[in-house]
Structure 1
């Protein structure tokens, strides 16, 4: 498939997925219009790079649908003053989007192979660092973060991440809530985080956030 076809697919993604679902931040739209998402997926998946669903990237993982990424970043309101923690670097797509928006990005990926791919894809960005580590642990050495982006669907958001948020910080994620996948916006106040679930929406499961299973007798 030629580059021109991918450009058309990217434009269609912006028009039909982002602009029709309240993704209104012009900086988010500009970044997602510019970045070649097909470069972040395996060759066999490139034709699906802009589909309204997750895209398999190997290692049992998938990139979040573009719509999920767009809606989360839209409400995060990331600016050049922000120090962002990205949980789930995957192959580096969302980190590349954030590199256009934030002052600095710390991207954590617990799969070593994907982390190496992300680091390679992000080599040209001097405001992004990729580290291999457990997703649920975040990255304490560079905390606090004004924004935390959890780039995947999780069962819960652990206290370890909340503790790395700055006062008046923001966290966004797709969270299982009452059995439904919902997009969540959390803000810190007085040492606690209050969540607003602003949309029902999918996301691709991100390992490391599973709730402990209760015993049944």
Structure 2
């Protein structure tokens, strides 16, 4: 008979061997990661692999999507510095894991997904998280009905198309995102000030580009 997997043990190992060793030091963030069952947000045949530090394929979508690694996601959250009173928008929420974790930190979370099948899956998986509202729409357009946001976290990479999201930031709001592809990609945080939105490098990171954030193809004669 196959032994049962102790996911709580795997979750603690993820925190100790992946998050803490990669400079994720905020105790509120660490507690949030410990409070959410990552195995409930991955494909059924990937549950036992839910806590390894790789991008997990997202089940059920019309296009190939991935879930950020625990380390990259945790560092993005720490870069965004969410507070308990903050209103957060997660762009590219897929099955809802990132929104679930942020719901343990912030006051409220809007989980935006463009793929209808993934959005439906997220609604089911997030039903027990009372301060999360799953919504469906194009990712680069954000969710203006809930704006302005104190934190916007993009759960994937972008090559272009951030202007609308920047416009949905509150004063002093932070937008945490992975920009670029491959070895040239990095995590950046944008902060809205009185007169402009400024950018600050966070750390080296890469992920799959989310739908709608691809760089326009150049016209070649």
Identify whether the pair has TM-score above 0.5, normalized to the shorter chain. yes
Counterpart in the other structure of 2:175: 171
Indicate the RMSD between aligned Cα atoms, in angstroms. Answer: 1.6
How far 1:63 sits from its partner (Å)? Answer: 0.7
SS of 1:208's partner is coil
Counterpart pick for 2:91 among 63, 87, 92: 87
TM-score by length of 2: 0.92
Counterpart in the other structure of 1:30: 31
Distance 1:42 1:174 in 2: 24
SS of 1:209's partner is coil
Structure 1 consecutive aligned stretches of length 4 or more whose deviation exceeds 4 Å: none
Alpha carbons 1:154, 1:205 under 8 Å: kept = yes
How far 1:186 sits from its partner (Å)? Answer: 1.2
Alpha carbons 2:180, 2:206 under 8 Å: kept = no
SS of 1:9's partner is helix
Counterpart in the other structure of 2:4: 2
SS of 1:101's partner is coil
Figure out how many residues of one structure are paired with residues of the other and give that number.
216
TM-score by length of 1: 0.94
SS of 2:15's partner is helix
Counterpart in the other structure of 2:130: 126
SS of 1:120's partner is helix
Q: Is residue 2:17 matched to residue 1:16?
A: yes
Counterpart in the other structure of 2:157: 153
Per-residue CA deviations over 1:145-182 (Å, capped at 9, x if unaligned) read 11101111111342111110011111101111796121
My pick for the range that moved more, 128-137 or 186-195, is 186-195
> In 2 relative to 1, CA 34–160 (structure 1 residues): closer, same or farther, beyond 3 Å?
same
Q: Is residue 2:109 matched to residue 1:105?
A: yes
SS of 1:107's partner is strand
Per-residue CA deviations over 1:48-75 (Å, capped at 9, x if unaligned) read 2111110012321111111111001112
**Structure 2, gaps ≥5 residues long:** none
Alpha carbons 2:79, 2:202 under 8 Å: kept = no
Distance 1:178 1:43 in 2: 29
Give the strand-richer structure, 1 or 2.
1
